[in-house]
Amino acid sequence: MTAAKNRAGVRAKLAAAVTSLWVILAVAGARRVGYAVEQVRITPAEALASAPFEQETGNIAMAVAAGEGYSSPTRKHTGPTAWLTPVYPLLVAGIFRVFGIFTLHAFYVAAALNILFSVATCITIFFVGLRIGGPARGVAAASVAAWIWALFPNAIVIPFQWIWDTSLTALLAATILWATMALAGSSRTRDWCAYGLLWGFTLLTNPSVAAALPFLLAWLWWSGRTTGANGMARSKRVAIALGLAILCCIPWTARNYERFHRVIPLRSNFAFELWLGNNYVFDPHAPINARVTRYGEERRYGQLGETAFMQEKWRLATEFIRAHKRLELRLTWWRFLDFWLGSHRPLEDFESSDSAWIRVIFLVNLLTALGGVVGLVALWLRRKSLAFPVAAFVLAVPIVYYITHGSLRYRHPIDPILALLTAIAVVGWGRQQERQTAKASTPAC
């Protein structure tokens, strides 16, 4: 009897540890820091101080920190820019001001913040899992989702490898999903104001998440029926949230209009991104030299200026799309695979890779993509009302990348939601196995 009690006590402690958010956070932090320390050990200090910032975010941040204003995305003095929204470049500029421009300490701080954002995402996933799982499955769904994110390869690699808004956007997307579900049925104006401010900050960080906004607001309006509020009251609440989100963006839009004399609500670079995925590089019968080089594009940008450069890219991209309708179908499929799996030739790249780590990344991303589909179907069958806001992220956010160009980095903002859906699929399968085992062990009368 005593031995049985001891075993039960050990199992209870183990279960408490496994489902403890603090334990999950500790493991998530240790895994990310461990990866970062290993990379620092094998990478020259001179490379770490400069290479991670040699892109638009680092270049704009350098210009801001040097007192040149929000400008120069190619590191040359090319004048004001709206290439990126301001939140993350200004954050990096603040780091440069304190720790120096392109210094090793600046990189350490930027990477540490990204790691902090990634670890904090465990918290929002956990609480969304509690809400979605309900009384019966909440703790299991929440802890499995948080564990998946804690050990998710992309979430371990990206905070160190990409000094970009990617990790912060993943945290914001997961937070918005949690806030949307928490807000449903609320009649308090301050809650709707906070929700609008959260969206405003997110839009100024990464506008691609905006694809989910109309669907989430529509769901909130519909869910407001549970409070007994009439359509006018529900519309007023939604208008408050939307109005505040837009209000947050107005100063940035006004700044862009003042600098470029045209309306640029958030970012100016959509035409360039569209052209990157739709140009003559992809046409094997192209009669022209179709090479795309960073040097060539930076030189062209410097010659034309941002407005004329984007206009030229828009013209070239739309002309290519109109002239290659059949090829566009194939390219769209490739971009779909690039977004979800990291390659439009996943089997070939998996087999040819000599890195076990790369193979693990391929495999885990495939499993979470499939888990997302299974989890979304299971959620729809079991809790239809909560499936819609989850589906809004998974289905709407990727669309812009199917049109332009895709990669696993672009998928990362919805990876926490895919981890959650995979957890729902795993927990549902586990419960089904338990029921079948219990049924098989029940003696027939």
pLDDT tens-digit series, residues 399-414 = 999 999 988 899 999 9
Selection from 430, 419, 364, 431 nearest residue 144 by Cα: 419
Backbone phi and psi for residue 358, each to the nearest 5 degrees, phi listed first: -65, -40
> What local confidence, expressed as pLDDT, does residue 263 receive?
95
Q: Would residue 249 be called left, alpha or beta, if left means φ above 0 and alpha means ψ between -120 and 50 degrees?
A: alpha
Most confident listed range (130-144, 326-340, 347-361)? 326-340
The 10s digit of each residue's pLDDT in 187-245 is 888 999 999 999 999 999 999 999 999 999 999 998 877 666 667 888 899 999 999 99
> What is the average per-residue pLDDT within 318-322?
95
Please state the domain extents for the chain: 13-428
* Contact yes or no for 391/414 (Cβ under 8 A): no
Instruction: Give start and end residues of each alpha helix (H) in 324-383.
Output: 325-341, 346-352, 356-382
Structure tokens at 280: 């003559």
Residue 441: its pLDDT value, please? 58
* CA 364 – CA 347 distance, rounded (Å): 14
Of the chain, the end-to-end C-alpha distance in Å amounts to: 30
Q: Which of 39-48, 66-75, 127-136, 314-323 has the lowest mean pLDDT?
A: 127-136
* Least confident interval from 10-24, 161-175, 340-354: 10-24
The confidence band for 431, taking pLDDT boundaries of 50, 70 and 90, is low
Encoding tokens for residue 91?
């954050």
Record the tokens describing residue 236, joined without a space: 């007023």
Mean predicted confidence (pLDDT) in 102-122: 97
The residue type found at 344 is H
- Decide if pLDDT at 115 tops 70: yes
Nearest residue to 419 (alpha-carbon basis) of 145, 44, 178: 145
Element (H, E) at 19: none
pLDDT of residue 407: 87
Asked whether residue 111 carries a pLDDT value surpassing 60, the answer given is: yes
Helix/strand/coil (H/E/C) assignment for every residue in 71-92? ECCCCCCCCECCCCCCHHHHHH
C-alpha to C-alpha distances, 401 to 141, 335, 407, nearest whole angstrom: 29, 7, 8
The C-alpha atoms of residue 172 and residue 205 are separated, in whole angstroms, by 9
Q: What is the dihedral of CA 193, 194, 197, 202, to 10 degrees?
A: -140
pLDDT tens string 51-81? 999 999 999 999 999 999 999 999 889 999 9
pLDDT band at 352 (very low <50, low <70, confident <90, very high): confident
Look at residue 445 in the predicted model and tell me its pLDDT.
Answer: 46
Query: Which pLDDT tens digit goes with each residue over 363-381?
Result: 999 999 999 999 999 999 8
pLDDT of residue 289: 60
- Residue 147: closest CA among 36, 35, 27: 27
What is the maximal distance between C-alpha atoms in the chain? 86
The conformation of residue 443, written as its DSSP 8-state character, comes to: P
Asked if residue 212 lies in contact with residue 396, where contact means CB atoms within 8 angstroms, the answer is: yes
Extract the tokens encoding 350.
């998996």
- The reported pLDDT for the residue numbered 3 is 55
How many whole angstroms separate alpha carbon 307 and alpha carbon 310? 5
Whole-angstrom Cα distance, residue 241 to residue 218?
12
Phi/psi at 67 (5° precision): 85, 15
Which pLDDT score is estimated for 194?
96
CA dihedral (367, 372, 377, 380) positive or negative: positive
Token couple for 293: 């080089």
Interatomic CA distance for residues 169 and 160, integer angstroms: 15
Residue whose pair of structure tokens reads 């971009």 in the numeric block? 335
Residue 8 region by backbone torsions, left for phi larger than 0, else alpha for psi between -120 and 50, else beta: alpha
Find, among 101, 140, 148, 93, the residue nearest to 122 by Cα: 148
**How distant, in Å, are the alpha carbons of 40, 180, 300, 346, 405 from that of 335?**
32, 29, 26, 12, 6
pLDDT at 242: 96
**Mean pLDDT over all residues of the chain?**
89
